[in-house]
């Protein structure tokens, strides 16, 4: 639990650090997915992964994971946009509907009837969400709150679909994680272009200004690189922890 909390906080702060200095949240997400895929391939080549999780690609398997990958891309993209428009300290408040949405989706899709204690807990969390939104005194962003609620709903659906998708890869959490990162990176790349982030990406990679440091801070390019490395390690840790908890 302590590791999960540390990884989640580090990921939020590193993401916000990068999003404060760049204007390409989708490309930032793509770089995380790409690096995660690359790390999986290197780990498999060096035989760090269990033999039961040897990486292989199957179009049949990929086709069976389309619903989960689609939800994964939407969830992560909306999460990044939430963090872009709200303060880091307000991020979890903006996404505070994950728990009640998860209970609701589990009831609808898995016919899992929640206990009274779970409903009371959800009520407390939901009340805290509305208190944080309307009574905290923090400057609100309608875009940030909207993306946060949408991300919460998609994350709830995604958590249920993950459990079902494990059957597609023979129950291997590591293999599912690799497929998810790889397919999400492939699906997200054209979206980056369609969203109009290509000019921002070119400026970040090739503009002289992106390599210049200001007031002792890292340059935008180095901030982007370090942020990608930090968050991709936390991202996969959280994903694998979630999978293991579901299993």
28-42: average pLDDT: 89
pLDDT tens-place string over residues 62-95? 999 999 899 989 988 998 888 888 887 777 777 7
- Using the predicted structure, report yes or no on whether residue 240 has a pLDDT greater than 80: no
Tokens of 218: 């890292």
Q: Is 169 helix (H, G, I), strand (E, B) or coil?
A: helix
E strand intervals along the chain: none
Which residues lie closer than 8 Å to 166 by C-beta, 6 or more apart?
172, 173, 176, 243, 246, 247
In terms of Cβ atoms closer than 10 Å to its own Cβ (0-12, 13-18, 19+), residue 19 is buried
Question: What angle (nearest 5°) sits at the alpha carbon of residue 36, between those of residues 222 and 40?
Answer: 135
Q: Is 92 left (phi over 0), alpha (psi -120 to 50) or beta?
A: alpha
Residue 184 CA to residue 177 CA, distance in Å, equals 10
For residues 72 and 184, is the Cβ–Cβ distance under 8 A? Answer: yes
**pLDDT at 162 (0 to 100):** 83
pLDDT digits (tens, 9 = 90+) for 134-153: 776 666 778 888 888 888 88
- In the structure, what pLDDT confidence band is assigned to residue 246 with cuts at 50, 70 and 90? very low
pLDDT for 182-213, tens place per residue? 999 999 999 999 999 999 999 998 888 888 77
- Asked if pLDDT for residue 9 goes beyond 80, the answer is no
State how far the Cα of 116 lies from the Cα of 68, in Å rounded to an integer: 30
Please name which of 71, 89, 72, 11 lies closest in space to residue 37, comparing C-alpha atoms: 72
Higher per-residue confidence, 217 vs 246: 217
- What is the average per-residue pLDDT within 30-38? 90
- The DSSP 8-state label assigned to residue 213 in this structure reads -
pTM, entire model: 0.82
∠ CA(186), CA(192), CA(193), 5° rounding?
105
Instruction: Flag whether pLDDT at 245 surpasses 70.
Output: no
pLDDT given for residue 108 in this prediction? 86
pLDDT at site 202: 92
Identify which of 93-102, 201-210, 231-240 has the greatest average pLDDT. 201-210
Res 2 pLDDT > 50: yes
The C-alpha atoms of residue 241 and residue 219 are separated, in whole angstroms, by 33
Higher pLDDT, 56 or 77: 77
């Amino acid at each position: 639990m302590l590791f999960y909390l540390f990884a989640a906080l580090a990921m939020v702060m590193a993401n916000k650090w990068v999003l404060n200095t760049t204007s390409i949240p989708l490309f930032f997400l793509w770089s995380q997915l790409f690096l995660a895929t690359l790390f999986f391939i290197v780990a498999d080549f060096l035989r760090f992964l269990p033999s039961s999780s040897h990486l292989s690609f199957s179009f049949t398997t990929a086709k069976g994971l389309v619903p989960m990958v689609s939800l994964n891309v939407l969830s992560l993209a909306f999460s990044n946009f939430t963090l872009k428009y709200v303060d880091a300290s307000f991020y979890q408040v903006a996404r505070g509907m994950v728990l009640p949405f998860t209970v609701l989706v589990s009831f609808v899709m898995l016919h899992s009837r929640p206990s009274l204690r779970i409903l009371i807990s959800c009520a407390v969390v939901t009340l805290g969400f509305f208190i944080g939104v309307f009574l905290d005194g923090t400057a609100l962003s309608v875009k940030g709150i909207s993306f946060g609620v949408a991300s919460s709903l998609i994350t709830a659906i995604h958590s249920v679909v993950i459990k079902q998708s494990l059957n597609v890869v023979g129950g291997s959490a590591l293999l599912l994680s690799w497929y998810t990162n790889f397919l999400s990176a492939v699906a997200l790349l054209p979206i980056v272009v369609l969203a109009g982030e290509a000019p921002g990406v070119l400026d970040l990679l090739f503009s002289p200004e992106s390599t210049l440091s200001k007031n002792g801070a890292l340059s935008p390019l180095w901030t982007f690189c370090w942020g990608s490395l930090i968050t991709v390690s936390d991202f996969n840790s959280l994903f694998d922890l979630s999978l293991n908890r579901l299993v």
